[in-house]
A and B are shown apart, each in its own frame.
Chain A
Amino acid sequence: MRKAMLAAGAAVAAAALLAGCSSTSGSGSDATADTNLSATISYAFWDSNQKPAMDALIKDFNKTYPKIKVTEQITPYQNFFTKLQTQGSSKTLPDVFWMNGPNFQLYASNDMLEPIGSGIDPSNYPASLNELYSYDGKQYGAPKDFDTIGVYYNKAIFDKAGVAYPTANWTWDEFHQKAKAISDKLKGDGIYGVASGLSGGQEVYYNTILQAGGSIISKDGKKSGYSDPKSIKGLQFVRDLIADGSSPTPSQLSDTPQDQWFINGKSAMFWSGTWVNAELLGSPVKDSIALAPLPKDERSATVIHGLANVVAKSSKNKPAAVAFQTYLAGKKAAEIQAQMGAANPAYNDTQQAFVKSAPWDLNIFLTEAKDSSFPYPISKNTAAWNKLESDLLPDAFDGKRPVAEVAKELAEKMNAALAKE
């Protein structure tokens, strides 16, 4: 984590330097920009659940900048980045838009983004997030929100199976024993100990790999970590859960997604992040849900991911766009988001309103973010090797091929993909 701090520090320095340059050239990445700026800018995002919060933010922004008109462009996530790529190709990107980890470097390395303005102070956000949105020593994204992974569990099922609840410092072995015990006891009811998403790494296997002391990708983003025996151990743990029936198979999880198993009382535990909070609050098992941190192996670990607001380099109204990004990065905007339950804001110490939104202890996510979080693994073309992961890993989890063999093939192919970047 110290390294992450250093990177963040470098990013601050770089941002300050850049702001210095631009104020002389008059392009105005300056936070104290003229509040009389008159412009129309576009703001693109994908989550329509968050539209009310975004509306409120724009309204509040207009109190300071009454002459900047912000128009929203909402595109569902499935098409968001396809559309953005087309817009990027024709230099018609929205002025300000949401960015996520897997796509960030692609845009930064293709010179599509403007570094953050001097009015944004990275020390206000978790260091891992600043690292996630920095490229070549420059920070481009202003962290918007974040999520870490925890274990949601259903107390009623634990009681029924006569298994003790998870404790704060639990280990893989304890987790596995509980999951197995519940699956065995409640087999007749079709209830599993754990059902978590295996289609991407974020919810389960990135975490287990990191907990075992392995890595998904090297720090510089040039080499795969999948052939590391520790990484293989992390994957093997997932396989073991499926092999002895503690968890449904990838096929079963494809037919019925993990969240459905959990909210219908068919699984006792469920690894997931803050984003399922709203869904769980509205679910039939709401009253018996509790939250525990992820179990540890060699170390405690969770990936941290969050969205950021970025400004397009091709923006024709850059001062206005930067002013809006700076506003969104501020404390007030974070508080509005938290109050409206839209997302867990990235701005330090503004999460209390969000923590209060559920009866289970959401503080666990915040503690994890501070103490044991690792940046979400990315490279310049993350999508290329994400595809390799989802092509190859199901065979390992399903037991069709040995985990180590699959991991080595994945590492090889991923290295080939990384070499092309």
Chain B
Amino acid sequence: MMSTSTITGKAGAVATTAAPATTGRGGRRRPSRGSSRAKKTEWLWAAVFVLPLLFGVVVFYIWPIIRNAYFSFTTWGVFGGATWSGLNNYETLLADPMFWRSILNTLIYVGFLLLGIPLAVVFASLINRPGLRFASVYRTAFFLPYVAMPAAVSMVWRIIFNGDFGMLNYVLSLVGIKGPNWLSTEWIALIAVGIVGMWISVGFNLIVLSAGMKGIPPEMYEASSLDGASRLRQFFSITVPLLSPSIFFVSVMTVITGFQLFDLLYALMGTQNPAINNTQSMVYLFFQHQQTGDNGYAAAVGMAILVLVGVFTILQFRMQKRWVNYV
């Protein structure tokens, strides 16, 4: 509701300056009660302003989704030439154990990323403590993994996780533990990838949550400390509830990026990893089938990702009413 009225409002204002002769006193008139002609011009201008963005969205997002939906019902030869095959791809998909495994893996990965949110809240509140020295240094340090190339980040983590010569296993060996091959053992690889994903996402979440914290009125803290509330109490009774809109935003974004897991997995594990099939994400499954020229099937995997992301996002919006406080 809000966004619509903003757009019309702006368009009305522009319409006045651009065509003063036709609209006359339009600038002083409330847009919603304008004459039908003025309204028309307003809509026209609105359209003009929205068009460039809309064009991009339609060409690069909506149209590919429609095409993808179409191709998911076809058998696609390596060099094009899609032939209609009805629900064939979806039948194979539902019967493919790798598909179900990839959903499970993706959900576990998303779980890891979501675990990173409470961490980010704690870090953000520590960094935003008034009077903290070098706050911007910490912020940069946390944010760096997020802006670094996933491929570069992965190279470093590969060295850390290496089973025979890695740093992690070396440290473990000092206390007498023989560490596993982190990135090439079923289940353990997923945990390793999840940890790296979490490590990267904390940076982004931290920045968003810090911004949210700046919006919490300082009087709240002053008042509560007068009432004798401890720092911990303040954190749970003021910071977290008032930050809930930001936390909500961050968790929606996290779920969406989690479902898109590909580059990290690809760079950390590589295509020739013996554990990759049991660790692959949904996007990786798409990639594998696309690589072998099975494009119709790959398109069906793509549709499954779209549907799942949609379902989870709707669920989150439904559930937000229970825990998000808008002041």
Contacts and interface: CB of A to CB of B under 8 A. Distances in A.
A199 B272 CA distance: 6
Contacts of A398: 274
A254 interface: yes
B78 A106 contact: yes
B253 to A, nearest CB: 29
Say what secondary structure dominates the interface of chain B: loop
Contact of B79 (A110, A248, A384): A110
Nearest to A197: B272
A112 B292 CA distance: 18
Interface in B158-209: 158, 161-166, 181, 183-185
Given A106-B78, A252-B164, A394 B274 contact: yes
Interface string B246-288: 0000000000000000000000011111110100000000001
Contact of B292 (A89, A254, A383, A395): A383
A112 B79 CA distance: 9
Contact of A256 (B79, B80, B165): B165
Contacts of A394: 274
B80 A89 contact: yes
Contacts of B292: 381, 383-384, 387
Nearest to B165: A256
A387 B288 contact: yes
Nearest to A82: B291
A251 interface: yes
A246 to B, nearest CB: 16
Contacts of A250: 184, 274
B245 interface: no
Nearest to A192: B164
Given A88-B79, A89-B80, A381 B164 contact: no
B293 interface: yes
A249 B273 CA distance: 12
Contact of A255 (B80, B162, B271): B162
Given A82-B291, A384-B293, A394-B274, A255 B163 contact: yes
Residue among B78, B164, B274, B291 facing the most chain A CB atoms (10 A cut-off)? B274
Main DSSP-derived SS at the A contact region: helix
Given A85-B293, A190-B164, A387-B292, A254 B79 contact: no
A251 B163 contact: yes
A254 B274 contact: yes
Given A82-B291, A255-B164, A381-B293, A390 B272 contact: yes
Contacts of A249: 181
Interface string A84-121: 01001110000000000000001000101000000000
A198 B189 CA distance: 19
B17 to A, nearest CB: 47
A224 B17 CA distance: 76
Contacts of A254: 181, 183-184, 269-270, 272-275
Interface string A213-257: 000000000000000000000000000000000001111101110
Contacts of B78: 85, 88, 106, 110, 381
A85 B183 CA distance: 31
A391 interface: yes
Interface residues of B, number: 29
Nearest to B181: A251
Contacts of B185: 251
A200 B271 CA distance: 11
B288 A251 contact: no
Nearest to A398: B274
Nearest to A190: B164
Nearest to B277: A391
Nearest to B75: A420
A110 B166 CA distance: 46
Which one of A88, A256, A398 has the highest number of Cβ atoms from chain B below 10 Å of its Cβ? Answer: A256
A383 B291 contact: yes
A256 B162 contact: yes
A85 B76 CA distance: 12
A254 B192 CA distance: 15
Given A383-B292, A384-B293, A255 B79 contact: no
B102 to A, nearest CB: 13
Contacts of B273: 254
Nearest to B269: A254
Given A252-B164, A390-B272, A383 B293 contact: yes
Interface of A: 82, 85, 88-90, 106, 110, 112, 190, 199-200, 248-252, 254-256, 381, 383-384, 387, 390-391, 394-395, 397-398
Given A110-B78, A384-B292, 16 more contacts: A82-B290, A89-B80, A190-B164, A199-B272, A250-B184, A251-B184, A252-B163, A252-B164, A254-B181, A254-B183, A254-B272, A255-B158, A255-B164, A256-B162, A387-B288, A397-B274
Instruction: Give the 3 A-B CB pairs with smallest separation, nearest first.
Output: A199-B272, A394-B274, A251-B184
